[in-house]
Each structure stands twice: as C-alpha cells, then as structure tokens.
Amino acid sequence: MKTHFMRLPPPLLLFILVAAAIPTLSSAACHPDDEAGLLGFKSGITRDPSGLLKSWRPGTDCCTWDGITCFNNRVSTIWLQANQPNISLSGTISPALSKVRNLGGIYLINLRNISGGFPDLLFGLRNLKYVYIENNKLSGRLPQTIGKLKQLEALSFTGNRFTGLIPSSISALTGLTQLKLGQNFLTGTVPVGIGQLKNLTFLDLSQNRLSGTIPEIFRSLTNLIILRLSRNNFSGQIPASISFLSSKLQYLELGHNALSREIPGFLGKFKALDTLDLSWNQFAGTVPKSFGNLTKIFNLDLSHNFLTDPFPEMNVKGIESLDLSHNGFHLKEIPKWVTSSPIIYSLKLARCGLQFNLDDWKPAETYFYDYIDLSGNQISGSPVSLLNRTDYLVGFWAASNKLQFNLVRLRIVKTLKDLNLSHNLITGKVPKGIAGLEKLNVSYNHLCGQLPASKFPASAFAGNDCLCGSPLPPCKM
Ligand SMILES: *[C@@H]1O[C@H](CO)[C@@H](O)[C@H](O)[C@H]1NC(C)=O
Ligand SMILES: *[C@@H]1O[C@H](CO)[C@@H](O)[C@H](O)[C@H]1NC(C)=O
Ligand SMILES: *[C@@H]1O[C@H](CO)[C@@H](O)[C@H](O)[C@H]1NC(C)=O
Ligand SMILES: *[C@@H]1O[C@H](CO)[C@@H](O)[C@H](O)[C@H]1NC(C)=O
Ligand SMILES: *[C@@H]1O[C@H](CO)[C@@H](O)[C@H](O)[C@H]1NC(C)=O
Ligand SMILES: *[C@@H]1O[C@H](CO)[C@@H](O)[C@H](O)[C@H]1NC(C)=O
Ligand SMILES: *[C@@H]1O[C@H](CO)[C@@H](O)[C@H](O)[C@H]1NC(C)=O
Ligand SMILES: *[C@@H]1O[C@H](CO)[C@@H](O)[C@H](O)[C@H]1NC(C)=O
C-alpha cells in the first residue's frame, strides 16, 4: 500500500493524506497489518456457505467486520461462532493471522470444519490471552513447545481431533484459568504438572482416551469450580487430593471410566457441589452417609456401578435430576427427598428394587418432568394419573414391572417421544395417539384388538394376547 502512495503524483497524494485524516471520509480505522492478517485468514477459508465472512472486504474498515472487535484502532478479538447446524467454515487457520499483532482473543467456535494441525501462529502473538478453538477438526499432536504460551489465560481445543500425549510443558501455563481439551483423541496419562496451574477454575479433559490413575494433582488447584474427566479410561480410586477442592467445586464429572473402590466420604463436605456424575464406573460399597450434607446437589448420577444399600437420607431441598439406575440398591419406595422436590425434571431409578403401587406415589411437583425411568422394578398399579400430570414428558420407561391398567386411558402428551411399557400386565387396545411417538414398546402385555397405523416394528407389539393388523398379521374378520 505504501509503495502505491509513493507512485502517485504529489498533489493527489496530498489529497489522499488529507482525506485520510478526516475520520468520516476515511476507512483508516483498520491498521493495514490487521487488514492483511484478517484477509490472509479469510483466504485460508475454502468454504463459507452461510457467508460468515462476507463483510470481510478489502478497503473497508476491518473493525466493522462481523466477528471483529478493535481496541485503540487495532484488532483485539476475532470471534466467529456458529450456533446453528447449517453454519460452518471449511479450510485452515492461515499463519497470516499472526500479522494481527495485538490480537488478545481468538474464538473460532462450532465452525465444524476448520482443519489443519496445531496453529503455530499462536506463538507469534505476544498479547494473546484467550484461545477458544472449539468443535472444529484440528488434528495432529499438541506440541511440546506449547509451554511457551505463558501469557495465556484460557486455552480450549475442546471438540477437535488432536491425538498423542498432553505435553508435560503445559505445566508452564500458570496464568490459565481455563484449560479445556475435551472431546479429542488424547492418550496417555494426565501430566502431573497440571497440578501447578493454581489459577485454574475450569479443567476439562473429558471424552479422550486418557488412562492410568487420576494423579494426585489437586492439592493446589483450590480455585477449581468445574472438573470434567468423564469418558476416558481412568482406573483406580478417586484421588485423595480431590478433597482439597471442597470449598469451591460445583461440578465434578468422572462418569464413564473404570474407577473403582468406595466413593470417598469427603465428597459430602463439598459445600458448593451442584453436579456429581460418577456413573458407569465400578464403584462398590455404600454411598457415604456424609452425602446427606450435600444440600446444594441438583444433579446426581451414580448409575451403572456396584453400589449397595442403604442409600443415605439426603437433605437437598430440590433435586433436579437423579439417576441411581443399575446398582445393587433395594430402595423399595421412591425416596421422600425426591417426591418432595419442587424442581425435578429427570428421575431414573431403573433396577433399584422399587416395590410400591404407582397410584400411591404423589410427587409434590410434576410440571418439569422430561424423563422418568422406572424400568426393571416391581412396581404395581397404574401410571395413568401420573402421566395425567406430566404435561411436558419426553420419555417414560417402565418396562418389566407389574403395571396393570387400560392403555386407552393413558394420556399421551404432544411432547412424548419415547414410551416403553414392555413386560407388564397392561390391558385394552393400543390407542391412535402412539403414532406421534418416535419410539414405542408395548410388547409382552395383555393388549388386544386392531393396531392403529404406525411406523413401529412388530417387535414393539409382540407377545400380547390378541393384537392384530400391520405390522402384525391381519385381524380375522
Ligand atoms: C439455518 O437454519 C435456520 C433455521 O434452522 C434458518 O433460520 C437459517 O436461515 C439457516 N441459515 C442458512 C445460512 O442456511
Ligand atoms: C470440510 O473440509 C474438507 C477439507 O477442507 C472438505 O473437503 C469438505 O467438503 C468440507 N465439508 C463440509 C461439510 O463443508
Ligand atoms: C493468578 O490469579 C491471581 C489473582 O487473579 C493473579 O494475581 C496472578 O497473577 C495469577 N497468576 C498467574 C501466574 O497469572
Ligand atoms: C483401559 O485400560 C485398561 C487397563 O487399565 C486396558 O486393559 C484397556 O485396554 C483400556 N481400554 C481402552 C479402550 O483403552
Ligand atoms: C454433616 O455436617 C455436619 C456439620 O459439618 C457434621 O456435624 C455431620 O456429621 C455431617 N453429617 C454427616 C452424615 O456426615
Ligand atoms: C386428568 O386430569 C384432568 C384435569 O386436568 C381431570 O379432569 C381428570 O380426571 C384426570 N384423569 C385422571 C385419570 O386422573
Ligand atoms: C424397552 O425395554 C425393553 C426391556 O427393558 C428393552 O429390551 C427394549 O430395548 C426397550 N425398547 C425401547 C424402544 O426402549
Ligand atoms: C421391545 O421389547 C422387547 C422385549 O424386551 C424386545 O425384544 C424388542 O426388541 C423391543 N422392540 C423394540 C422395537 O424396542
């Protein structure tokens, strides 16, 4: 651009310089290096079907481009985020972006199809503090040199395709408050050095292929609010140093691993804990009595372990979602602290040794219910009055019980998608209302009569007394 100016005849050059000095006439708010860097980024994008970058036009003020924020006339943030499934960007992150010298934040979120390796241009950006490149297709390894990015305060590569080990040098990024590497293909063990990142409030290593024991790295991580390590292959017990997180931790997710031994009693001291997921592990023994002190717990998932009775009396005012399915519990009845919850939306107690009459269960509030799973118990009576009160129910599963009622009386609300009542003692006909469901199973009951038109396979209706019509054999005239 400079060379162009020099070739212009002097009077015209003067005119342009004067014009440039009058803000209303100029497009000079954008620094030429920033414009070049951003246009370089744009040229690395090969497909932009929804026109996310259509305002990025040469010669216009880059500070006004979609997704760009400036500070003191220099580009400070690039924030491109897709919130609808039909929006995406394809291509790679051009190294030219490092020309945007004052860049403090890069947010490339849910763009789905940004590919390439670790973006080395990050090393050239001295002011960079926030990097969120989430839900894209970056791949390859995280470089050992990552420890040079010492000025970073947040680093997220959640939802990419990185492979290999988490570099040990990550321990040098002591300014990080957020480290999110979830949903990649990272392997190996968790580097012990992560324990040095004292300012971390959010650590997410979930949905990778990490293994070994969870190291004792939590003694200094007392600022952690969210810890997600679920869906890996961690084994061994819950590390004792997690007890140091008792004052601030709100969210602890360790589900879908191979963790074992007993659930430590110290978790009952976690004053702020609102979500605890220990599902799909191999925890055995009883749930600590101290859980009675988890008065703020909203979401508790202990499903698919080997836990046994007795389940502690909880003192939570309102549980929102509870899953105790597939353990060794014999609860007999739905616990009082569940029945009394004013905000519960999901209750899953499959194979929990429940033995009661559903007509006798009078939950305080049913308005918010989305999911109820009572499969594999010995529940008698009828769900008719319960489902008459759940206006927004999406899934109701009560297969393998002793429910006895006329199916025609069951209200099927518009929101209901999935209904499983297989292996009960249900009588009557199959109502027309089932046609609006996405999944249905009423097999092995005492239903009779002609089936209404539906898309469900024969196995959804098998094993009844006298059902007929498609997909079963035709009714006899
Ligand atoms: C994406 O889908 C939404 C609704 O799902 C629609 O409103 C929008 O116009 C679509 N955008 C594009 C770029 O196709
Ligand atoms: C994703 O990017 C790849 C390579 O850049 C390209 O071949 C593919 O068509 C893109 N997919 C979509 C859905 O845009
Ligand atoms: C950690 O956070 C504190 C308080 O916000 C801050 O003063 C300190 O500089 C941070 N540490 C690092 C290494 O950035
Ligand atoms: C998980 O770890 C165990 C050893 O603890 C190993 O035998 C197993 O193959 C691992 N599974 C996967 C899917 O990596
Ligand atoms: C609950 O907390 C109180 C006060 O900290 C303590 O005295 C009590 O023993 C705890 N209850 C259980 C069951 O651990
Ligand atoms: C269902 O609820 C309505 C009022 O909302 C009530 O009139 C009706 O008797 C209820 N039916 C059953 C079977 O409880
Ligand atoms: C219904 O429950 C039965 C028994 O638990 C199970 O075999 C079947 O897969 C379930 N079907 C649906 C559609 O959920
Ligand atoms: C319905 O449940 C029966 C019995 O559990 C099972 O064999 C069948 O596959 C299920 N069918 C569907 C469509 O879920």
Query: What does 64-110 look like in DSSP terms, one character per residue?
Result: GSTTEEEETTEEEEEEEE--STT--EEEE--GGGGG-TT--EEEEES
Atom of ligand 5 nearest to the CA of 289: 13
Paired strand residues for 166: none
User: Distance between CA 104 and CA 86 in Å, rounded?
Assistant: 29
Tell me how far the alpha carbon of residue 86 lies from the centroid of ligand 1, in angstroms.
6
Share of the chain above pLDDT 70, in %: 94
Structure tokens at 37: 């860097």
- The DSSP H or E segment spanning 42 is helix 32-43
In order of their start, the domains of the chain are 1-28 (no CATH), 317-477 (3.80.10.10)
Residue of 110, 117, 205, 191 lying closest to 161 (CA atoms): 117
175 lines ligand 3 (CB under 6 A): yes
Cis, bond preceding 471 (omega within 30 deg of 0): yes
Structure tokens at 55: 């305002």
Structure tokens at 174: 């002591």
Share of the chain above pLDDT 90, in %: 91
pLDDT attached to residue 28: 54
Distances (CA, A) of 448 to 56, 316, 444, 461: 65, 45, 11, 10
Q: Is the pLDDT of residue 6 over 60?
A: no
Atom of ligand 3 nearest to the CA of 198: 1
**Average pLDDT, integer, range 159-170:** 97
At residue 402, φ and ψ (nearest 5 deg) are: -120, 35
Q: Which tens digit of pLDDT belongs to each residue from 346-390?
A: 999 999 999 999 999 999 999 999 999 999 999 999 999 999 999
User: Distance between CA 462 and CA 449 in Å, rounded?
Assistant: 13
Nearest CA to ligand 6 atom 13: 385
User: Distance between CA 407 and CA 356 in Å, rounded?
Assistant: 20
Q: Is the pLDDT of residue 4 over 80?
A: no
Query: Percentages helix, strand, coil for the chain, rounded to the nearest 5?
Result: 20, 25, 55
Distances (CA, A) of 207 to 204, 252, 382, 421, 441: 9, 14, 40, 33, 32
User: Distance between CA 197 and CA 210 in Å, rounded?
Assistant: 19
Specify whether the backbone of 409 is left (phi greater than 0), alpha (psi in -120 to 50) or beta: alpha
Query: Hey, what amino acid is at 76?
Result: S
Q: Is the pLDDT of residue 2 over 90?
A: no
The band of 147, judged by pLDDT with boundaries at 50, 70 and 90, is: very high
Cis, bond preceding 10 (omega within 30 deg of 0): no
**Interacting residues of 474 by C-beta distance below 8 A, sequence separation 6+:** 468
Is 180 within 8 Å of 155 (Cβ atoms)?
yes
Paired strand residues for 162: 140
292 lines ligand 5 (CB under 6 A): yes
Q: Which tens digit of pLDDT belongs to each residue from 381-427?
A: 999 999 999 999 999 999 999 999 999 999 999 999 999 999 999 99
Structure tokens at 186: 């990272």
199 lines ligand 3 (CB under 6 A): yes
**Average pLDDT, integer, range 59-80:** 95
Atom of ligand 3 nearest to the CA of 175: 14
459 lines ligand 7 (CB under 6 A): no
At residue 431, φ and ψ (nearest 5 deg) are: -75, 155
The band of 445, judged by pLDDT with boundaries at 50, 70 and 90, is: very high
Paired strand residues for 203: 179, 227
pLDDT attached to residue 324: 98
Tell me how far the alpha carbon of residue 291 lies from the centroid of ligand 5, in angstroms.
9
The band of 12, judged by pLDDT with boundaries at 50, 70 and 90, is: very low
Tell me how far the alpha carbon of residue 50 lies from the centroid of ligand 1, in angstroms.
8
pLDDT attached to residue 75: 96
Nearest CA to ligand 8 atom 12: 460
Q: In sequence order, what DSSP letters do the residues of 300-357 get, joined into one string?
A: EE--SSEEESPPPPP--S--SEEE--SSB---BS--HHHHT-SS--EEE-TTS-B-SB
Query: Hey, what amino acid is at 115?
Result: S
Tell me how far the alpha carbon of residue 381 lies from the centroid of ligand 6, in angstroms.
17
Tell me how far the alpha carbon of residue 106 lies from the centroid of ligand 2, in angstroms.
22
**Average pLDDT, integer, range 423-447:** 97
413 lines ligand 6 (CB under 6 A): no
C-alpha gyration radius of the chain: 29
Residue of 359, 357, 318 lying closest to 337 (CA atoms): 318
Task: Encode burial over 310-330: b for 16+ CB neighbours within 10 A, e otherwise.
Answer: ebbebebeebbbbbbbbbebe
Nearest CA to ligand 5 atom 11: 290
Tell me how far the alpha carbon of residue 199 lies from the centroid of ligand 3, in angstroms.
6
pLDDT attached to residue 476: 84
Distances (CA, A) of 376 to 37, 44, 292, 338: 61, 55, 27, 19
At residue 11, φ and ψ (nearest 5 deg) are: -60, -40
Structure tokens at 175: 């300014």
